[in-house]
Amino acid sequence: MPMTLVEAFEPWFKADSWLSHSPEDDKRFHQCCYDFLQIRGRQVSTEDFADRLRDAIRRQKGGEWLEKHEDALTFYTLRFDAIVAYLGDTDQLPGG
């Protein structure tokens, strides 16, 4: 089943607490990473990850985008990048 980046990460960013860095949100984020990467592999750049999710989250929030949103997205973008790098380096990505 094809999955877009936004579709894959909706369970994480649609939670009101997505930017809290709580253990529940971290777990939700990691599950979204796993689901997306198992289907799509390394098919998105770090910049695309941030840009697409920023647009989707902003739309969901009715256009609102605050510094705390950007800070949280930056934190999770760096985490996504580290996860992709680790899985790629250890040959755990599909097609890798």
Domain ranges of the chain: 5-89
Residue 89's Cβ-side half-sphere holds a number of Cα atoms within 13 Å equal to: 6
Q: What is the pLDDT of residue 33?
A: 94
For residue 95, what are the contacts with CB-CB under 8 A and spacing of at least 6? Answer: 41
Q: What is the pLDDT of residues 4-48, one digit of tens each?
A: 999 999 999 999 999 998 999 999 999 999 999 988 887 889 999
57 vs 40, residue with greater confidence: 57
Confidence of residue 65 (pLDDT cuts 50, 70, 90): very high
What is the overall mean pLDDT for the chain?
91
CB 73 within 8 A of CB 54: yes
Give me the mean pLDDT over the 79-87 stretch. Answer: 94
Provide the whole-model pTM.
0.89
Element (H, E) at 47: helix 46-60
